[in-house]
Amino acid sequence: MNDVGLRARKMARTRDQIAEAAIHLFVEQGYEATTLEEVADRADVHKRTLLRYFPTKAHLVLHQQYAAIEEFGEAVAKRGETAIMDLWAAHVIRHARDMMRRGRFANMRKIARSEPSLEGAYLSIQATYQALIGAGLREDLAGRTDADIIAPVAAAALVGGNYSVSAGIFAREAYDELEAAVLEVVRLVREKLLDDRAG
């Protein structure tokens, strides 16, 4: 194991340790009532260390979503012939499985959805996804005269549909339905908005 690998693993452990401490405190005493100092103390790190990993309090709740956006943006840039619709479905399913595997889904959703101060961050995340998908759809729909109109509409339907369907699944704790629901949203957008011309 080289020094770079060890350092990366240590950083990942520290990031996870801080995130876990934050989630536990947010559940115990509420998002607004919890200070960054308390999170740092619970994680047994200095506040400067916490801020190096999580520049804002919102990042403590939404860091996996921010990382997922970055990952999706990189995948879009390298997608080659892969249809944006297929890339989106695979991304959403992989991201949801990862969060469920880590056992963070229920707590993070509860915190994020119950805190009005995080609503702006969620809207920003959705807007970023819509922009990435819209740009990809414009490429996939090249040659269609309505591409500049249909691409952002379909992107909004994909992202909004995913968030809406997911919210119902999480509320019922019916996590095993997630993959089929995501694929159904993609199918409906293809069938109803794109006539399956975007892959």
Residues of the chain with CATH 1.10.357: 57-194
Choose the weakest-confidence range: 42-46, 119-123, 181-185. 119-123
Which ranges of 34-83 would DSSP assign to H, the alpha helix? 36-43, 47-53, 57-77
Token pair in block for residue 102? 């880590």
CA 76/CA 71 separation, integer angstroms: 9
Report whether 26 contacts 61 (CB < 8 A): yes
- The fold of the 57-194 domain, in CATH, is Tetracycline Repressor; domain 2 (1.10.357)
- The fold of the 1-55 domain, in CATH, is Arc Repressor Mutant, subunit A (1.10.10)
Residues of the chain with CATH 1.10.10.60: 1-55
CA 91/CA 98 separation, integer angstroms: 11
Residue 95: pLDDT over 70 = yes
- Specify whether the backbone of 115 is left (phi greater than 0), alpha (psi in -120 to 50) or beta: beta
Token pair in block for residue 128? 């970023």
Q: For 99-156, what is each residue's pLDDT tens digit?
A: 666 666 666 767 776 788 788 888 899 999 999 999 999 999 998 999 999 999 999 9
pTM of the shown model = 0.82
Report whether 25 contacts 57 (CB < 8 A): no
